[in-house]
Amino acid sequence: MTYPDIRPFQSHYLKAPRNFQPIEKQVMENHPVCLEIGAGKGKHACLFASNHPKLQLIAIERTAEKFQAMQKSQREAGLDNLTTIHADAIPWVVHALYPAQLQQIFLLYPNPEPHNSTQRWLNMPFFEYLLSRLQVGGTITLASNIAEYIAEAVEQLNQVWKLPFELQKTPQDSARTHFEIKYLQRGELCQQIIITKPQGYQTRFDDIQPRLGQAHEA
């Protein structure tokens, strides 16, 4: 068995986020499930949920102020297929999501971590765990306005993760997030990588079930 050449993610050490509550079973079962990590004020989340009523989107944001803004937008739009979560995404994913549960994952304009490259998504062991939650044929969309970030991600996909992907230039009229609007108005090059999980792709976490709040954080 050949796994990605990266140290294993230590999922068993992660405590559940504060006030963790599993997603209601009927919510997860009624629609295909998608995930957005770092959803900010929820512009993309609300737009996606509105345009895809048959999909269930879980949108996670760690910053309280941004989460509250997203929650307000979700309520005002009356989007029953959007679930907003205030938590750190990594422990939440470990405690809440099942193997091969997600149809799509969105990582739109993540923090480029200029002083700590090991915290970039495709450099983290957690990325292998995240892949285990993605179904065969599912996609991950990673968007950034930083050319070096995109170039590094492409290198990691080729050398470490060995996943098929498509590199795309973001259209000038795209307006998925507040950051994207700002960057495009400045004339910056915004790009996205669409990563696909192929048939037969295996991780070390394919049989690991969610912990569902075990060992809650005090």
Q: Are residues 62 and 114 in the same domain?
A: no
Domain region containing 68: 32-43+55-97
Same domain membership, residue 131 and residue 81 = no
Supply angle C-alpha 198, 154, 151, rounded to 5.
165
pLDDT at 215 over 60: no
Q: Are residues 84 and 122 in the same domain?
A: no
What CATH code is carried by the domain that includes residue 140? 3.40.50.150
Count of structural domains within the chain: 2
In what helix (H) or strand (E) does residue 63 lie, and over which residues does it extend? Answer: none
Q: pLDDT of 174-195, one tens digit each?
A: 999 999 999 999 999 999 999 9
Pairing of strands 165-169, 191-196: antiparallel
- Residues 130-150 have pLDDT tens digits of 999 999 999 999 999 999 999
Closest CA to 210 of 95, 101, 123, 109: 95
The answer as to whether 13 is a domain residue is: no
Does 115 lie in the same domain as 92? no
Do 195 and 108 reside in the same domain of the chain? yes
* 39, 70: one domain: yes
Does one domain contain both 92 and 108? no
Closest CA to 92 of 22, 40, 13: 22
- 135 and 163 both lie in a single domain: yes
- pTM score, whole prediction: 0.94
Give the chain's length.
218
Rg of the chain's alpha carbons, rounded to an integer?
17
Which stretches within the chain are classed as H helix? 25-30, 43-51, 64-77, 89-96, 126-132, 147-156, 178-185
Taking alpha carbons only, the member of 163, 197, 204 closest to residue 10 is 204
CA-nearest of 178, 102, 104 to 145 is: 178
Express each pLDDT in 75-89 by its tens digit: 999 999 999 999 999
